[in-house]
Structure 1
Amino acid sequence: MTPGLTPLPARLQGHSVSAGRPWPMGASLDGDGVNFAVFSAHAELIELCLFSPDGRKELVRLPFRERDGDIWHMHVGGLTPGAVYGFRAHGPYVPEQGHRFNPHKLLLDPYARALEGRLRWSDAVMGYKIGSNRGDLSYDTRDSAFAVPKAVVTDTSFTWGNDRPPRTPRCETVIYEAHVKALTQLHPDIDKGLRGSYLALASDPVIAHLQRLGVTAIELLPVQAFVDDRFLVAKGLRNHWGYNTLAFFAPEPRYMAKGALWEFQTMVRRLHSAGIEVILDVVYNHTAEGDQWGPTLCYRGLDNASYYRLADGGRHYVNDTGTGNTLNLTHPMVLRMVMDSLRYWVEVCHVDGFRFDLATVLGREPHGFDPNGGFFDAIRQDPVLSRVKLIAEPWDIGPGGYQLGQYPHPFHEWNDQFRDGVRRFWRGDAGMTPDLAKRLLGSAERFDHSGRSATSSVNFLTAHDGFTLEDLVSFTVKRNWANGEDNRDGHSDNHSDNMGVEGPTEDPAVQSARALRKRNLLATLFLSQGVPMLLAGDELGHSQGGNNNAYAQDNAVTWLDWANPDESLTEFIAKLAGLRRAHPVLRQRRFLHARKRAWDSQLDVVWRKPDGCTPTPQDWHDPAFRALGVELRMAAEGQDSRCDAVLAYFNCGGAVDLVLPASTRWELQLDTTRPDLSSAPVPASLPAQSVLMFASVPFAGQAQGESR
């Protein structure tokens, strides 16, 4: 034992304490015990607290005696997987200067790989005295250990066998955004004991459904351990979505059937075996500790001034996230934690990519958003992370928060302009056809720069945040009353259309119109350049009753009703995915700019009116221009390609005569007014409210793709 260190009490005899090492961070098994390393630049003393296996009894406190720079470290010999622990940090409690140390509050290890227990909301988890006239400047001396989750020493080893990441090319990717529990909780073919869990998501019925749809990647709403907000618990609700992260390395326990990391790893392995990638929605912009009135659970108590971006001398928090606090990724140790977390999910859990919530926060430097900022530089040079899929939600509520199109390669970006423009076109808003043209070509005006590809745009009609597809065609007004916020929450401008009746209806004409509108929206999604993303449940006809902000609805509002699926819509989406796979021109890497191809002098894009002519400038500026055709070939900047051409028409108006260009022989492969159509001759008219897609067919004696 290192001289000067306090020996363990009799109940922990057989364990030895030594200096250990400052790496890796967190609790690391090494065969002889566990090494602990934790960061704090401003603490005066940090203690390791060991607990009984159930986390209820604190057994011993061991002070860290060794410090390497700002890393405090210690080795405890004889500890094994399953050991439960936390930290206490001593230091100044001077909120006006940004310091909120309070050793009465047990702190979670920021690198915790697993959790024991859940957060029990109590005034004891606050660093200040609730009700004090000094507010958050007061100091609370109650011990919070009984109320907070503890970290668990975890053996992360797993038998991966021959698991390999699918590494689906970006241009072939089809994303399915889903919630672990909502997707599986009501599935009748999943064992009741597994429903709502990672293992349920890895079950044969779910995998078969994803394969049927043509999905290549499932994007999971947050699965990093999170907490239920106190105001929700008081209302009898829960944080269903999970954008309230507490532990960036630990899988959320509520989705575990057995309480073990191997459940998550098994899910990934099984999805990989089916050729499906796993993308995690991650929240590195803020934590569950909120603003100065929030609890002291981890980061605030370890080093508030380092982990968070502070204002007003340090007492208050910069709130670019709308959640009360903002992580300070300009601090090297906070950035290191985020990078370590990302690598952990890739290397230990084999995930294939990440969708970054409010990603503008991650790129905001002191001078503003910077696409060459520290976070982006770190992730792009990283040999592990630079090869996985990276998706940005390109906005936040901070200054200069809207940054669509400004992220560096290889980031994809959620394209809200696609969502809104396509919705408005099919709703019949005047003058939206020019905008539709931009969205069909991958929003090049936003993304075609700095060597970025046409797959930079993640195109979506719906996502977890907003109306489902069924509600998009059924409601004009949000109905969020169940959230307990008097319907003030959620967006009010949804560009939706109820097709004549608000809410559910038995009117067959309205039902037919809604079904057609959904098919038109989906066809536009799959026929556009970029990466298409589906919202789980849209293929089933899932409705949330008009709730467009169901973040707190862990119930039948969000759980998918597998007992009453819209089989025809599911099959239609599968058909669209099949067409996209069959025609490479629909999923190109290069942007299309109506340039001549060197090998055949044909333009890679030609815009068409239903009469076969190209639109004039007057047409493009005509607010009544509602039927647009686009003839697509492989990009002129590419190599000589013999792929077929595609001609698609999008008509949000009435029926019109149709004349196709005679230079090519065309075969009808999609008509949204006849969803069961497989192929047919060219019709004489373009139906009202329709999408038609034709593929080129060689003339007799002509090779496929050869120009005539």
Structure 2
Amino acid sequence: MPTRPVASVPRSLDAPAAPGVTLTADGAEFAVVAECARQVDLCLFDESGTESRVPLTRHRGGVWCGAVAGVGPGTRYAYRAEGPWRPEEGLRYNPSKLLLDPYGRAVEGEVRWNPTVFGHEVDAAFSGDGSVRDDRDSAPDMPRNVIVDDHFDWDGDSQLFTPWDRTVIYEAHVRGLTMLNPDVPQELRGTYAGVAHPATINHLQRLGVTAIELLPIHASTSEPHLVKLGLSNYWGYNTLGFFAPHAGYACASDPQSAIDEFKGMVKLLHRAGIEVILDVVYNHTAEQGASTGATLSWRGLDQSNYYRLDSRGHDVDVTGCGNTIDMTHETPLRMVLDSLRYWVTEMHVDGFRFDLAVALGRERDDSFHPDHPFLMAMRTDPVLSRVKLIAEPWDIGSHGWRTGQFPHPMADWNDKFRDAVRTFWLRDLAADAAGHPGHGVADLAMRIGGSQDTFGSRSPLASVNYVTAHDGFPLADLTAYNSKHNGANGEGNRDGSEHNLSWNFGVEGHAAANEETETLRRRVVRNMLGTLLLSAGVPMLLGGDEFGRGQGGNNNAYCQDNEISWFDWGFEPWQRDLIDTTAYLTSLRAAHPVLRQREFLPDHDTGSSPVLRWFDQDGAAMTSDAWADGSTRTVQALFDGDNIGDDNLLLVLHGSCDHAIVSLPSSSSGHAWELLWDSAIDNPADIPSTTIEHSAGYPMRAASLAIFKAPSR
């Protein structure tokens, strides 16, 4: 290969450049960490794809640097690293492998897994058998990094910092959200620009959403086994670059325009009052396991530092994806923190949801600790500590379930809330239909009150409440399928969770269900939405649940980039009713601060805080026997807003298969109760004007939820 001379580097070898590419007056300075390498070359590519190599200079800490004149935005580049090949020590240097820049801000092209030369799970040109070095050049099948310009006209934009107590999160996929929306121009569907289109923003605003949480938008690639099946990693949990937006979600064709399109999306969402939260995957990379995976970037630069390895040089995998990033080492720790700060300061995002966050908090002995250096760094960082930080509080490693154990200011996905709501409105309803007792109402009451048993040392706002997420059944499928139907994934229906807590109401799927069954299913969907949006904590809606989107029983649609996952915007009348219902419930939440408490509600009249009190079907205070009785199917929650100038609100949850007359308790003000919403009514616009005196009865339909208000004193 022709070699381009490196310009003189006017810096001390003890003061290396920051990792990545830094533009200079006459070119650019490159820096990459490869601590155990003997030599690192910068690879530059001209318009024809011809490669030229520039030897870099080793600086302190194994940072390899070099300044090159005449390069700038639009230049394609990558690296090659020479060094020891000792897999048993975690050293896998191989100069025949082209390596992406861990700090690259744009990735152009795809990893091409040539199906004719698969070795084990992957192309032998990338991995061989994992122990013998394969010297075939990977460059023809590798993407490139591209230098980009950070300049963008933000026009005064900045993060919104919406208070947690006013936050309603909407989880969605950039592509699936708009691929079928006829109100979005064809060329913008499935893109960042599509998310920012007025049709999309108007829908989010109508719902009362304050933040959109996007499934991974970091540059990613598909796993080889999916390529062999003719599928792709639709969800994007297979990261190829932590600083680059995924180019496939841009309507623009060049890397610079893709970055500008992402920034434009954020700017327009902010203008509409909607925050942008990114689902980020820092626990593993797309390189999979060393014995069957590929050398794409980190493995070829510094595997022993980037990944958790055992004493034999094998991956310690607590992610289920073949590898785990070692957050106890300074190199990956700095990379992740730099990446987070980049997305906040340069891309203006408002927060992050950390996939398999326990893996990020594991110490050198693999135990989880809330004071792990990474978690401490985010807590003390002047940039990161101010944005929204949300943990998925588990991984698949030993003692990997840690809901409620992450430190302030983080919030946790609350799977206890998910399971309690599904149990009460689905599994126990099925038990009631069969004449069996269920689990009672105590756990559900704990979740409605903010899960004090789990987040008592923090706040109800540390609990991100959800009933459904991208992983699992959407709400409509929870009421239509007892079993998963994942045949389209090509794994013989073996993938996906068996723990769904769903109930099909006696008929599997929709095709054979009659109108009576569908009516009851839709009511239970409204019940679950109501419980979610009227409980203490921070609600997260799965995009599409607001109009009853289904996936045909697929509870693991990670590889379905098609109509299984895409939103169908051709609404039936019942779907429009459900959208109106969702919007009405979020408006109730916004209007009543008693539902949005920042501290836990005491269960007796003390201090100036509102009080949460519980009553049975007869309007009497719940007793210990009633709490412990698994056959209890009706409970009333009274949110007393007197001391904060809010109304008294009464939630009546009736989880029985039979209709019942429920006696309403007295409000603290002595005023009568006014009906605000009843899930037995399809559209909130049809709620009748109804006033119920205290101790009077209200007819609750089978499996329904109602909410009443009484003015405060």
Task: Find the counterpart in structure 2 of residue 417 from structure 1.
Answer: 416
| Structure 2 counterpart of 1:657, one-letter code | I
User: What code does the residue aligned with 1:659 have?
Assistant: S
* DSSP 3-state at the match of 1:311: coil
The aligned residue for residue 339 of structure 1 is 337
TM-score (norm 1): 0.93
Q: Contact conserved, 2:664 with 2:698, CA < 8 A, in 1?
A: no
Residue aligning to 2:171: 177
| SS of corresponding position for 1:102 | coil
CA 1:155–1:596: 2 relative to 1, 3 Å: same
Deviation at 1:127, TM superposition (A): 14
Greater Cα shift, 123-132 or 505-514: 123-132
d(CA) in 1 for partners of 2:44, 2:328: 32
State the Cα distance separating 1:428 from its structure 2 match. 4.8
Give the match for residue 516 of structure 1. Answer: 523
Structure 2 residue aligned with 1:57: 50
The yes-or-no answer on 1:246 pairing with 2:267 is: no
Q: Runs of 5+ in structure 1 lacking a partner?
A: 1-5, 10-14, 698-704
On the 8 A contact 1:8/1:16 being kept in 2, the answer is no
* Alpha-carbon distance between aligned partners in 2 of 1:104 and 1:693, rounded to the nearest angstrom: 66
The reply to whether residue 384 of structure 1 matches residue 383 of structure 2 is yes
Determine which of 103, 106, 109 is the counterpart of 1:117.
Answer: 109
- Does the Cα contact within 8 Å between 1:19 and 1:66 map onto a contact in 2? no
2:434 corresponding residue in structure 1: none
Inter-partner Cα distance in structure 2 for 1:297 and 1:134 = 14
Once the two structures are superposed, the pairs formed by residues 147-162 of structure 1 within 5 Å of their partners are 147-162=141-156
Q: Partner residue of 2:492?
A: 486
CA drift at 1:598: 2.9
Q: CA deviation at 1:133?
A: 13
Give secondary structure in 2 for the equivalent of 1:246.
strand
Please give the alpha-carbon distance, in whole angstroms, between the structure 1 residues aligned to 2:172 and 2:122.
38
Change (3 A) 1:679 1:210: farther
Residue 402 of structure 1 deviates from its aligned partner by 0.3
* 2:677 equivalent among 657, 670, 673: 670
Structure 1 vs Structure 2 CA RMSD = 2.1
Q: Distance in 1 between matches of 2:160 and 2:283?
A: 29
| Cα deviation, residue 660, structure 1 | 2.2
Matched residue type, 2:698: A
**Large movers: runs of 4+ above 4 Å:** 123-129, 131-134
Quick one: which amino acid aligns to residue 661 of structure 1? Answer: P
User: Contact conserved, 2:45 with 2:77, CA < 8 A, in 1?
Assistant: yes
Q: Is the 8 A contact 1:84 1:152 kept in 2?
A: yes
* 1:295-694 superposed matches below 5 A: 295-314=294-313, 316-367=314-365, 368-429=367-428, 430-449=438-457, 452-505=458-511, 507-564=514-571, 566-598=575-607, 604-633=611-640, 640-653=643-656, 654-662=658-666, 663=668, 664-665=670-671, 666-674=673-681, 675-676=683-684, 677=687, 679-682=689-692, 684-694=698-708
Q: CA deviation at 1:94?
A: 0.8
Identity across aligned pairs (percent)?
A: 47
Q: Distance in 2 between matches of 1:312 and 1:617?
A: 54
Local SS of the residue matching 2:650: strand
Q: CA deviation at 1:622?
A: 1.2
The whole-number CA distance in structure 1 between the counterparts of 2:306 and 2:120 is 18
2: CA distance, partners of 1:134 / 1:567: 54
Whole-angstrom distance in 2 between the partners of 1:134 and 1:296: 10
Aligned to 2:78: 86
Deviation string, structure 1 residues 532-568 (Cα, Å, up to 9, x no partner): 1111111122111000000000011101101235111
Q: Distance in 2 between matches of 1:16 and 1:688?
A: 78
Query: Are the aligned partners of 2:126 and 2:295 in contact in 1 as well (CA < 8 Å)?
Result: no
Conserved 8 A contact 2:128-2:134: no
Deviations 1:577-619 (A, max 9, x none): 00001111111100113032335xx971211112110111111
| Amino acid in the other structure paired with 2:691 | P
Distance change (3 Å), C-alpha of 1:325 and 1:274? same
Question: Is residue 176 of structure 2 the alignment partner of residue 195 of structure 1?
Answer: no
Check the 8 A contact 2:41/2:80 in 1, yes or no. yes
Alpha-carbon spacing, 1:484–1:19, altered in 2? closer, same or farther (3 Å): farther
How far did 1:130 drift?
Answer: 3.8
Deviations 1:435-460 (CA, angstroms, capped at 9, x unpaired): 101110111100011xx121111111
How far is the alpha carbon of 1:19 from its aligned partner? 5.5
Following superposition, the deviation at residue 282 of structure 1 comes to 0.2
TM-score, reference length from structure 2: 0.92
Match of 1:232 in 2: 226
What CA distance in whole angstroms lies between the structure 2 residues aligned with 1:509 and 1:313? 61
Q: Distance in 2 between matches of 1:427 and 1:121?
A: 44
Pair 1:579–1:539, CA change in 2 (3 A): same
Question: 1:132 & 1:229 partners in 2: Cα distance?
Answer: 13
- 1:48 partner amino acid: L
CA distance in structure 2 between the partners assigned to 1:83 and 1:19 by the alignment: 23
1:8 Cα offset (Å): 2.8
- Match of 2:494, SS state, is coil
Answer yes or no: is the 8 Å Cα contact 2:636–2:650 preserved in 1: yes
Q: 2:63 aligns with which of 55, 60, 71?
A: 71
Aligned residue type for 2:579: T
* Contact kept in structure 2, 1:585 and 1:633, CA below 8 Å: yes
SS at match of 1:18: coil
2:77, 2:146 within 8 Å by CA — same for their partners in 1? yes
C-alpha distance in 2 between matches for 1:594 and 1:132: 62
Report the Cα distance in structure 2 between the residues aligned to 1:31 and 1:278, rounded to whole angstroms: 34
Q: 1:687 offset after TM fit, Å?
A: 2.8
Which deviates more, 135-144 or 41-50? 135-144
- C-alpha displacement of 1:465: 0.2
CA distance in 2, matches of 1:651, 1:575: 20
